[in-house]
Structure 1
Amino acid sequence: MEALRKAMTRAAAPVSIIGTVGGFIGDIVAPLGNFAPWVALVSFIFTLIGLFGFLALRRKQGDLAWDSPVAGGLLIAGASTLIFGGWSILFAVGPEKGYLAENIKPIAVVQAQLFDLQEDVTQIKETTGETATQVVAMATAQAEGFAGIQEAFAQLQMGEGTLVENPATPQEWYSNARLYQLRGDTANAIKAYEGYFQFNLEYVDPLIEYSALLKASEGIARTRQIMIEMLNAHPENLSLDLAVGRLLDTPEERLERFIALSMRAPQYGPVFAELGDEYTRAVGSTPTQDLIQKQADAYTTLFKLEEQQLFTRYYIDKLQAEERLQSARRTLDAFASAQTAFSKIDITITHYYNGTSFVFAFAEAGSAQKILFGIDDPEPKMDTGRNASGIANIYIPPILLPVGEHTVYFQYLDANGSASEVYSRAFRVDPVTVIFQQLPPDFSTNTIPGTFTVGILGDKIEDAKAYTYNYSLDNDSLSETLEGFAMGTIQVTGLTPGEHTLYIQATGADGRKTEVVAFPFTVQ
């Protein structure tokens, strides 16, 4: 018993602290609920766990088990169970805001500041209930009203629709709006559309029709103001955002708006239709590969989304939606050949004795703002400059490069200042340069002659250094010889159409030889 008494003495201090602090906190948070029963339940569970552990330990150690941490934990958990069991009863029958707040004003003030109890809890519950009811009503209108709207629209198309005297549903408001519109009654059509908009549905075509009526009657500025006010009231409505974007003045503003909307809602099909149309108009004024590619990407995304009806689902008038899709397909097909032409890039590389020259050929060369190139630099930085006509240079005069493997890179800024991708082509600089020129065919032998202009890389013609060129065609025997200088000409006959290779090696007056160069060429 002495061991038990010591254990209880050691546990007294922590138990007192837990009981006091727990009671104080429980009383302060009383407005939020009575948490004491939960703490008592958790303490009881730990008491059972501690009891089983203690009994197992006591069988091994006897009374010494009371000196173990297991015994201390058992006593603290058991005492907490009793204390919070008592607190739970007291809090259950006590004041709603707790004993301390009820009797000590400063604590009541602190409690109010902590938990924002200035607003009545009942009022919060009532507001929450009203909001939930509104959300349910909106959801019901979107989910169940769809079929009704479609049915009403079908009746309108067949000429069977009639005005509803006191419209209450979105389909009734929409039906009235279209009927007024068909009758030329713009004022009532606008009012009916506004009645339909109170349900905050995300169909595109009612917004487009409404905007057109407003522009015709009140002008673009007022229309834009009204649509922006609607969007401010319902910023989550994607179709309202789209409708506001359609009313912006400049193509740049519209593109910026639609791009932002497409990033915000990548599954919203109508915005990609608008993007494709905007890029199509931009291509019409300034055709560039960048714009054609962006147009294709927008329309391709639109068609992909429509596989899950993520475009037509936003239209009440399905025929109008299908016509827009067909128009987009026709436009994309029409620009397909242009995209192929714009995507063709050619880099011509020619090796001379005094260096390597480059010609960059691409469809936008005549309108490019700038052409940048680099040798062995994947981030082109050198500007080719402009010629006398003010057009960016596509020709780079010979640049003397070391013998070995190299890569030329180039990039251009199109007419709109958009950077193209970086294009590249690998090439090799040899110690002996070769240029092949095919001559007219010899009909007497039914073969083709040709001329090779050969030179020593980096040597100056005026130095008149003597070289011996050993060469051969389509084998590496080097059986033919030409005596010459830094540049020379080799005449050949008897060539046949197809792929061929000239093998050549130069030997200087001092006896030094170049490596053997294999020059492939094609006879047409």
Structure 2
Amino acid sequence: MAGGIGMGGAAPSLIRASLGRTGRWATGVAFVGGFISDILTPLAPFAAYIALVAAIAAVIIAIAIVLRLVLAAKALPALVFASTAAAVAGGVFAVQKQTNSQNGLVAGLVPAVAELQRSMGIVSAKVAKIEQTVTETQKTVETVKQSTDKVLQKTDEIASTQQQQTEQGAQTQKTVEAVKQTTDTLADTVAAGQQQQQAQAQKLQATTEQIAVSIDTIAKGFAALAAQGGVIAEPKRPDEFYHNARVYELSGDMLNARRSYLAFAGFDVDAIDPYTRFATLLRVQDGKAGAREVFGALADKGKALSIKLVHALQFEDAQRLQKLNAFVAANADFAPAYFLLSQEFSEDRLGFQALSDKRSEATALTKFLSYEKDGGLLKYFVDQTQLADWLDRSRSRLAALGDVLDAKRFAPTLTPMRSNQGWSMTISIPEPATGISWRMGDSGPFTETGFLALNDQTTGKPMPNPSFELPDSTAAGSIAIKYLEVSGRETGPFDIRFDPETALQQGNKQILDQFWTSWIAFDASGNRGLVYFSQMLSYRCAIKAVHYGLNGAALDKEIKMPPCDPKDPYAIPSEYQPYFKVADSVKSMSVQVTYTDGTQSPVREYKRQ
């Protein structure tokens, strides 16, 4: 309490002491500053600036004293000075504002000061001019700066573009290098792939040989077990399981036979006969659907082509054939597939074979037998007796099919026959047909020949008409023939060349050869001494020359024939006599015809009655 009183009492004395020491000169300085600022008023309101700065300083010093941030003894003189300066300057500025004096109070009272301000006004004008110049210069500088900025911006853009081009060039270079590297890598990959493929091919060849050896070992083991007979108590090898399956099957124990076949299939042996036998057992027990399901599962798990092939056999008709063809296309050297494919076209399977079926069967059997050389079929069979059966059946069927693969022999033929009204074309089909159609030329619709008024005993269906007519004005060209097999499958078209002149000659020749006994007629119709050759004369378009001899003499005489008339080939010219006279001593006549195709008939002998 005493301390507080002491401070309260000491403060006024301290302030009086500070005012006594500092106040006098501070007041003087403040008045001098106020005078100077009043004189400089035309240039700027310096009195206001001084009052504001001094007031802020006084407030700061007072706060510092109150907060005891500084010692009061040291800060009071500054506070007195700042307060005095603020009061004087503020007073001067207040009076200037109140009097609305633009040049200050002193200038209004003292002319000399006004003159001094005018001098300062010159300076002020100059300063204004300088400021204007500085302002214009600043604008120019700003304009230059803007231009410079634009130039810098453009330069930056150019630099950026160049940098982008550089980066793009670098990227392009990297891309080129990457492409080159990729190309090199690809080349290396291709080379490595080729080497790998070659290694795989060699490995596959070695594996194939190993499998063949393995099947050979299994086959020998199976043959030994078959000779031994009986069930193997604890089978372990594939030949033992196959042997047991056969034994169980023969004894009627189908359940154990089935288990043994499945155990054999687990070895994934690529032999055909065990799976065909297993499939037969499954079809008997479960039908084709069951067999298809079992072999489908085996084919998914195993790699043996034999399993996949037998699986294809478990489908129905057209689907089975489609899958067999697909298998053969994918595995062209799997020999057993060709025998099984041939069965799809056999008489046993179809009941009635069309010509195309016979050809398909013969083609497949021929391909199968081609693998017999050098024991090429042994590697597909565990039971060699099964292979022997397939070979015997193949040879027997090929012998029965004969030369069915000779396309020329089994192609349709066309026999033209010329009459006075035109051409009669007779078609010969190499197999029973249910429909025949023809077309003149290489384009246009086909025309059906129709049907005869009777049924074909082979097909049980109406017999198609084997002939059609053409006008006598028909020019040389191609005639296309096609027909329907018994199964309804279309065969053809077959293009046959038709030449009217050649056809006429060949038709006449055929008749002359067939009816040669009618060439010569002695004393016909009671005309004693006359030899008639009317039949040769009617078919003279096939004849180049006719030579004869009487009573066994040389053929040194010739019958002159009138030229052939293609428009009316069988007519005998009215002025031509179809006979000649002979003496009663003529008892026989020998005749030989030379045809237009250069061939000659045998020497025919005709005796007089």
TM-score in same-fold range (> 0.5): yes
Confirm or deny that 1:149 pairs with 2:218: yes
Contact kept? 1:352, 1:398, Cα under 8 Å: no
Contact kept? 1:472, 1:480, Cα under 8 Å: no
Measured in 1, the distance between the counterparts of 2:232 and 2:504 equals 90
State the one-letter code of the partner of 2:274.
P
Contact kept? 2:433, 2:486, Cα under 8 Å: yes
Paired residue for 1:290?
A: 356
Contact kept? 2:417, 2:423, Cα under 8 Å: yes
Contact kept? 2:537, 2:578, Cα under 8 Å: no
**Cα deviation, residue 317, structure 1:** 0.8
Please identify, of 393-402 and 261-270, the stretch whose mean Cα deviation from structure 2 is larger: 393-402
Paired residue for 2:426?
A: 359
Contact kept? 1:401, 1:429, Cα under 8 Å: no
Paired residue for 1:424?
A: 496
Confirm or deny that 1:188 pairs with 2:256: yes
Once the two structures are superposed, the pairs formed by residues 46-61 of structure 1 within 5 Å of their partners are none
Structure 1 residues 147, 357: closer, same or farther in 2, change over 3 A?
Answer: closer
* 4+ aligned runs moved over 6 Å, structure 1: 13-16, 138-141, 337-342, 430-434, 475-479, 518-521
Measured in 2, the distance between the counterparts of 1:139 and 1:346 equals 50
Contact kept? 1:149, 1:316, Cα under 8 Å: yes
Structure 1 residues 172, 430: closer, same or farther in 2, change over 3 A?
Answer: closer
**Cα deviation, residue 327, structure 1:** 1.0
**Cα deviation, residue 521, structure 1:** 9.0
State the one-letter code of the partner of 1:181.
E
5+ unaligned residues in a row in structure 2: which ranges?
1-162, 186-203, 455-461, 524-530, 548-557, 581-588, 605-609
Contact kept? 1:411, 1:422, Cα under 8 Å: yes
**Cα deviation, residue 232, structure 1:** 3.2
Paired residue for 2:481?
A: 410
Paired residue for 1:119?
A: none
Paired residue for 1:440?
A: 517
**Cα deviation, residue 291, structure 1:** 1.3
Structure 1 residues 191, 451: closer, same or farther in 2, change over 3 A?
Answer: same
Measured in 1, the distance between the counterparts of 2:444 and 2:381 equals 47
Measured in 2, the distance between the counterparts of 1:296 and 1:424 equals 26
| 3-state SS in 2 of match to 1:440 | helix
Paired residue for 1:92?
A: none
Higher-Rg member (1/2): 2
State the one-letter code of the partner of 2:384.
K
Measured in 1, the distance between the counterparts of 2:256 and 2:504 equals 86
Paired residue for 2:439?
A: 374
Measured in 2, the distance between the counterparts of 1:431 and 1:279 equals 38
**Cα deviation, residue 145, structure 1:** 3.1
Measured in 2, the distance between the counterparts of 1:276 and 1:321 equals 15
State the one-letter code of the partner of 1:451.
Q
Write 1 or 2 for the structure with the bigger share of strand: 1
Measured in 2, the distance between the counterparts of 1:421 and 1:306 equals 36
State the one-letter code of the partner of 1:192.
S
Contact kept? 2:544, 2:594, Cα under 8 Å: no
Once the two structures are superposed, the pairs formed by residues 190-205 of structure 1 within 5 Å of their partners are 190-205=258-273
**Cα deviation, residue 288, structure 1:** 2.1
Measured in 2, the distance between the counterparts of 1:16 and 1:259 equals 57
Contact kept? 1:379, 1:409, Cα under 8 Å: no
**Cα deviation, residue 431, structure 1:** 13
**Cα deviation, residue 297, structure 1:** 0.7
Measured in 2, the distance between the counterparts of 1:431 and 1:151 equals 66
| 3-state SS in 2 of match to 1:422 | strand
Contact kept? 2:482, 2:493, Cα under 8 Å: yes
The one-character-per-residue Cα deviations of 1:317-355 (angstroms, maximum 9, x if unpaired) are 112102111111011101216777972643211223432
Measured in 2, the distance between the counterparts of 1:188 and 1:479 equals 90
Paired residue for 1:488?
A: 571
Give the percent of matched residue pairs that are identical in Structure 1 and Structure 2: 18
Contact kept? 1:163, 1:179, Cα under 8 Å: no
**Cα deviation, residue 257, structure 1:** 2.7
5+ unaligned residues in a row in structure 1: which ranges?
1-9, 26-34, 40-134, 456-468, 503-517
Structure 1 residues 519, 16: closer, same or farther in 2, change over 3 A?
Answer: closer
The one-character-per-residue Cα deviations of 1:127-161 (angstroms, maximum 9, x if unpaired) are xxxxxxxx9xx989835532431222121221267
| 3-state SS in 2 of match to 1:420 | strand
Structure 1 residues 425, 160: closer, same or farther in 2, change over 3 A?
Answer: same
Structure 1 residues 238, 414: closer, same or farther in 2, change over 3 A?
Answer: same
Contact kept? 2:521, 2:533, Cα under 8 Å: no
Confirm or deny that 1:178 pairs with 2:246: yes
Of the three residues 305, 313, 336, the one matched with 1:238 is 305
**Cα deviation, residue 498, structure 1:** 5.5
Write 1 or 2 for the structure with the bigger share of helix: 2
| 3-state SS in 2 of match to 1:411 | strand
State the one-letter code of the partner of 1:226.
V
TM-score, normalisation: structure 1: 0.57
Once the two structures are superposed, the pairs formed by residues 9-48 of structure 1 within 5 Å of their partners are none
Of the three residues 264, 277, 280, the one matched with 2:330 is 264
The one-character-per-residue Cα deviations of 1:18-45 (angstroms, maximum 9, x if unpaired) are 8x989xx9xxxxxxxxx9xx99xxxxxx
Measured in 2, the distance between the counterparts of 1:15 and 1:432 equals 85
**Cα deviation, residue 453, structure 1:** 7.5
Measured in 2, the distance between the counterparts of 1:309 and 1:219 equals 35
| 3-state SS in 1 of match to 2:268 | coil
Measured in 1, the distance between the counterparts of 2:392 and 2:371 equals 15
Measured in 1, the distance between the counterparts of 2:366 and 2:354 equals 18
Measured in 1, the distance between the counterparts of 2:590 and 2:286 equals 78
RMSD between aligned residues: 4.9
Paired residue for 1:211?
A: 279
State the one-letter code of the partner of 2:517.
P
Structure 1 residues 327, 355: closer, same or farther in 2, change over 3 A?
Answer: same
The one-character-per-residue Cα deviations of 1:268-314 (angstroms, maximum 9, x if unpaired) are 11121112222122686223221111111111111113326453321
Contact kept? 1:370, 1:383, Cα under 8 Å: yes
Paired residue for 1:305?
A: 371
Contact kept? 2:215, 2:379, Cα under 8 Å: no
| 3-state SS in 1 of match to 2:535 | strand
Measured in 1, the distance between the counterparts of 2:564 and 2:248 equals 94
State the one-letter code of the partner of 2:535.
T
Measured in 2, the distance between the counterparts of 1:444 and 1:357 equals 33
Measured in 2, the distance between the counterparts of 1:15 and 1:339 equals 70
Confirm or deny that 1:247 pairs with 2:331: no
Contact kept? 1:453, 1:489, Cα under 8 Å: yes
Measured in 2, the distance between the counterparts of 1:377 and 1:419 equals 17
Contact kept? 2:474, 2:500, Cα under 8 Å: no
Confirm or deny that 1:500 pairs with 2:567: no
Contact kept? 1:380, 1:411, Cα under 8 Å: no
**Cα deviation, residue 359, structure 1:** 0.5
Measured in 2, the distance between the counterparts of 1:407 and 1:521 equals 29
The one-character-per-residue Cα deviations of 1:169-204 (angstroms, maximum 9, x if unpaired) are 433433443343354432222212212212222211
